[in-house]
């Protein structure tokens, strides 16, 4: 079990064709990083931008969870209906156990803000001892969605790391 004072090792994977080619600056990854820094319990140790290619997404998720042993991976982008939005499929291909509550909570809370939340196909799950969560590509939506689930993340990550304490205590 990890000491509770240690920060959770976190990685942020931005999924964007144009961002990966340098055609635009993607702001959703920095928005997630900024929000995590405000919380103070997370240390972003890896950040990367990849194209909307499932093989690239899967490779980053596998390397970060299996070799870098990060506690948490947040992906941003590629969760909508566009033909190139394949983050949920790539994430589903690498997770070993689904953890749907995070994506469900983000959609439920986002629906209170916009009906467009129902087109989110974001998924969340566990690979090894890493929690992986898909976020929208909009900086505003990514930041809002992180705010919705942030209260539950430390407890979830401690449980994933083997914390034996009762959940109700």
Please write the tens of the pLDDT for every residue from 12-49: 999 999 999 999 999 999 999 999 999 999 999 999 99
Q: What are the φ/ψ torsions at residue 10 (nearest 5 degrees)?
A: -125, 145
Neighbour count for residue 42 (Cβ, 10 Å): 23
Q: What are the φ/ψ torsions at residue 62 (nearest 5 degrees)?
A: -65, -45
This prediction's pTM? 0.95
- Which residues in 20-169 belong to E strands, given as ranges? 42-50, 72-76, 97-98, 124-127, 130-135
Give CATH for domain 10-160.
Answer: 3.40.980.10
Domain ranges of the chain: 10-160
Confidence of residue 169 (pLDDT cuts 50, 70, 90): low
């Amino acid at each position: 079990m990890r000491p509770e004072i240690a920060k959770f090792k976190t990685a942020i994977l931005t999924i964007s064709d144009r961002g990966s080619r340098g055609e635009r600056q993607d702001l959703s990854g920095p928005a997630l990083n900024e929000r995590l820094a405000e919380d103070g319990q997370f240390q972003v140790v890896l950040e990367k931008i990849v194209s909307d290619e499932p093989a690239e997404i899967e490779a980053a998720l596998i390397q970060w969870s299996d070799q870098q042993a990060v506690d948490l991976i947040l992906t941003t982008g590629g969760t909508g209906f566009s033909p190139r939005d394949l983050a949920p499929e790539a994430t589903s291909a690498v997770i070993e156990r689904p953890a749907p509550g995070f994506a469900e909570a983000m959609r439920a809370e986002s629906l209170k803000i916009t009906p467009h939340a129902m087109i989110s196909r974001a998924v969340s799950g566990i690979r090894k001892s890493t929690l992986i969560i898909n976020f929208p590509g909009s900086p505003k939506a990514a930041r809002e969605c992180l705010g919705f689930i942030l209260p539950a993340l430390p407890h979830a990550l401690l449980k994933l790391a083997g914390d034996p304490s009762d959940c109700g205590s």
